[in-house]
Amino acid sequence: MKLVTISGPPSSGKTAVLAGVIRSMIASGVKVGALKYDCLTTDDDAIFRSLGVPVQTGLSGNLCPDHYFVSNIEECLDWGFSQGLDFLLSESAGLCNRCAPHIKGVLAVCVIDNLMGATTPKKIGPMLKYADIVVITKGDIVSQAEREVFAFQVRRANPKARIMHVNGITGQGAAELASQFLNAPETTCLDGSRLRFSMPAALCSYCLGETRIGMEHQLGNIKRIKLKEEPIA
Amino acid sequence: MNILERTIADLYENMPQVALFLGDYGLDPLERGITLGLWLESLPDEMYEDIGIDMQGLVENLEEYLLQQLMLQSGHLPVVNEITVIGGRDKSGTPEQLRLTLTRGSVTSIVGPTGSGKSRLLADIEWMAQCDTPTGRAILVNGEKPDPELRFSLEYKLVAQLSQNMNFVMDTTVAEFVAMHAESRMVENIAGVVEEIIMQANQLAGEPFSADTPVTSLSGGQSRALMIADTAFLSSSPVVLIDEIENAGIDRKRALSLLVRREKIVLMATHDPILALMADQRMVIRNGGIHRVITTTEREKENLTVLESFDNRLLALRTRLRNGELIEEVP
């Protein structure tokens, strides 16, 4: 079975892109399943199910979605095997831009959209910088120049990735993206595999439910802001 | 010489792309006398954790980025003179039986109902399909099968698109915006190109705008004019697809002739008879396939003049309306 991880900021069009990819993959006769990791709630499983593919949904609740993803991906992989899938597409929302869900040896895709502004690619961490394929969406509503500038910025952030444009509404580009998925490496087992980069760290009193503000309540992995002298105008 | 062995002062002086690249990671070396390699090694692990990449990854990306910039500057990419579409089949499997060559400076209109397969045709050209898309079409560039790796090259993107629902979303002025695009295309004389584009766009737009106008406050017609002029001069794509350009606020005839002068292969999805007849030929799309290709006839060209006079009469009414006049007599 081939596992593909797809991540990207909220509302960047991950699900619409994947729906297009899945339609194309089904048409070429392969068996696809989907995993949807989200934070609070999701209706996207219904979208995948309406395409006729088996789906599992995981809600991370008050945990970092990235940490939740990595601690559950093996079990989901086993589920994929039990369903006899050829492809398992795992979609997870990147909520803090420092997300790092990509796994060594597993095809890694990042979905971002043209509306985020030209400076956004540099603000996105390992989720974009360690992806094999960067998919850019919403190209139908911005100017050609902005599309070109945005793609150029993406390349500066991740020069090795393949950059592809997919239109989530018309599906233009989805079949081409699907053709890249077909070349993904096989995943038989993830035990002992490694993430491409460390996930955002979180281990402090607030992780454990602390709600009070103040120095005395701060324990664990705490980082202080560095305030600088502002020149007086 | 290996980039890591050069001093930061040298790199920042002679290779501004290095400063831009590091700046994207929020890196700004204060000490300029040491080599880049030593400086990167001196940074603590926690810093790499914070910026979300390790030193090896950073160096690999920098080297790859510089290599790509170098290839871009040396202009190693082959020039596209013509594109040939070799027919596949429509949605029912009926063969298209067609071999259509589109040359630089030609205008082809595309007609057919919504959902008939216009997007698919464009996607086939953009992807340089080799019988590997649902239509089974093949695309040749300069009469030959293109290198499949070129599918992923940003500079070799075959199709630039302009459509009615496109807007500018960046928070910049017209001049800053065009300059940003020119920079990404590694243009030498940026100021000159910016000036030329703004001048050309103003010739297309009904109402003038200046270099200081924010792009987001341009009217529909002004935006379209700027998009067309910018695409004509700065886009690397040889094919320009225009999707239903509305009549208001832009001189469409002039816009087309600008793109033709800049040697673009113009495809125009339209049901406006004037635009359709301005083209040298039109492609009729039906049921996912190219149903036929009609060369604009002499008779049609003559009718174009009649249609244009209709159009001018409507435009004159529009101007009168704008000026607050009554429309009690129609010419």
Residue A209 has pLDDT above 80, yes or no: no
CA distance A144 to chain B (A): 6
Torsion of CA A72, A74, A77, A81, to 10 degrees: -130
On chain B, the residues whose CB falls within 8 A of the CB of A179 are 132
Q: What is the pLDDT of residues B263-293, one digit of tens each?
A: 999 999 888 888 899 999 999 999 999 999 9
Query: What domain count does chain A have?
Result: 1
Q: Is residue A205 part of a domain?
A: no
Q: Any CB–CB contact under 8 A between B161 and chain A? A: yes
Share of chain B above pLDDT 70, in %: 97
CA distance A222 to chain B (A): 13
**Contact call for B169 and A115, based on CB within 8 A:** yes
Residue B247 has pLDDT above 70, yes or no: no
ipTM exceeds 0.90: no
Q: Is residue A221 part of a domain?
A: no
Q: What angle do CA B291, B295, B299 make, to 5 degrees?
A: 125
Q: Any CB–CB contact under 8 A between A159 and chain B? A: yes
Question: How many Cβ pairs within 8 Å bridge chains A and B?
Answer: 122
Go through B252-274 and write b for each residue having 16 or more CB atoms within 10 A of its CB, e for each that does not.
Answer: beebbebbbebebbbbbbbebeb
Q: Which long-range contacts (CB under 8 A, 24 or more apart) does B37-44 make?
A: B37/B2, B37/B4, B37/B5, B39/B8, B40/B4
On chain B, the residues whose CB falls within 8 A of the CB of A159 are 61, 64-65, 68
- CA pseudo-torsion sign A183, A188, A189, A193: negative
Q: What is the pLDDT of residues B168-178, one digit of tens each?
A: 888 899 999 99
Domain interval for residue A43: 2-181
Report the alpha-carbon distance of residue A142 to residue A148 in Å, rounded.
Answer: 10
Is the pTM higher than 0.80? yes
- Between helices B55-73 and A144-157, what is the axis angle to 10°? 140
- CA pseudo-torsion sign A88, A92, A97, A103: negative
Q: Is residue A211 part of a domain?
A: no
Candidate from A130, A143, A176 with C-beta closest to B166: A143
**What Cα–Cα distance (Å) separates residue B55 from each residue in B4, B25, B40, B52?**
12, 12, 7, 10
Q: Is residue A114 part of a domain?
A: yes
CA distance B224 to chain A (A): 9
Whole-number average pLDDT of chain B: 89
Q: What phi and psi, each to the nearest 5 degrees, are found at residue B109?
A: -95, 155
Q: How many Å is the Cα radius of gyration of chain A?
A: 19
C-alpha A183: how far from chain center:
19
Report the alpha-carbon distance of residue A69 to residue B274 in Å, rounded.
Answer: 56
Q: Is residue A199 part of a domain?
A: no
**What Cα–Cα distance (Å) separates residue A74 from each residue in A3, A94, B70, B268?**
11, 20, 43, 50
CA neighbours closer than 13 Å in the CB half-sphere of residue A33:
20
Confidence at residue B1, expressed as pLDDT on a 0 to 100 scale: 65
Q: What is the pLDDT of residues A68-83, one digit of tens each?
A: 899 999 999 999 999 9
Q: Are strands B99-103 and B82-86 parallel, antiparallel or unpaired?
A: antiparallel
Say which CATH number the domain at A158 has: 3.40.50.300
CB B239 within 8 A of CB B265: yes
- With cut-offs at 50, 70 and 90, classify the pLDDT of residue A40: confident
Residue A24 has pLDDT above 70, yes or no: yes
Residue B76 has pLDDT above 70, yes or no: no
Domain B82-296 adopts which CATH fold?
Rossmann fold (3.40.50)
**Contact call for B185 and A201, based on CB within 8 A:** no
Q: Any CB–CB contact under 8 A between B57 and chain A? A: yes
Residue A22 has pLDDT above 90, yes or no: yes
- CA pseudo-torsion sign B98, B104, B106, B111: positive
3-state secondary structure (DSSP) of residue B82: strand
Q: Which two tokens stand for residue A171?
A: 């599906």
Domain ranges in chain B?
3-73, 82-296
Confidence at residue B109, expressed as pLDDT on a 0 to 100 scale: 93
- With cut-offs at 50, 70 and 90, classify the pLDDT of residue B110: very high
Q: Is residue A210 part of a domain?
A: no
Q: Any CB–CB contact under 8 A between A221 and chain B? A: no
Look at B192 and A42; give whichever has higher pLDDT. Answer: B192
3-state secondary structure (DSSP) of residue B265: strand
C-alpha A41: how far from chain center:
17
Q: Any CB–CB contact under 8 A between A23 and chain B? A: no
On chain A, the residues whose CB falls within 8 A of the CB of B174 are none
CA distance B19 to chain A (A): 12
Of the candidates A173, A166, A200, the one whose C-alpha atom is nearest the C-alpha of residue A64 is A200
Report the alpha-carbon distance of residue B263 to residue B22 in Å, rounded.
Answer: 38
- With cut-offs at 50, 70 and 90, classify the pLDDT of residue B107: very high
Residues 44-103 of A with CB under 8 A from B: 98, 100
CA distance A123 to chain B (A): 8
Q: What phi and psi, each to the nearest 5 degrees, are found at residue A177?
A: -65, -40
Report the alpha-carbon distance of residue A111 to residue A136 in Å, rounded.
Answer: 6
Cβ-based burial of A53 (10 A; exposed 0-12, middle 13-18, buried ≥19): buried
Q: Which two tokens stand for residue A22?
A: 């899945």
Q: Which two tokens stand for residue B72?
A: 């871009």
A159-163, A205-209, B114-118 — which is least confidently predicted?
A205-209
Residue of B nearest to A164 (CA): B152
Look at B246 and B20; give whichever has higher pLDDT. Answer: B20
Report the alpha-carbon distance of residue B245 to residue B227 in Å, rounded.
Answer: 11
Q: Any CB–CB contact under 8 A between B235 and chain A? A: yes
Go through B320-331 and write b for each residue having 16 or more CB atoms within 10 A of its CB, e for each that does not.
Answer: eeeeeeeeeeee
Type of residue numbered A135: V
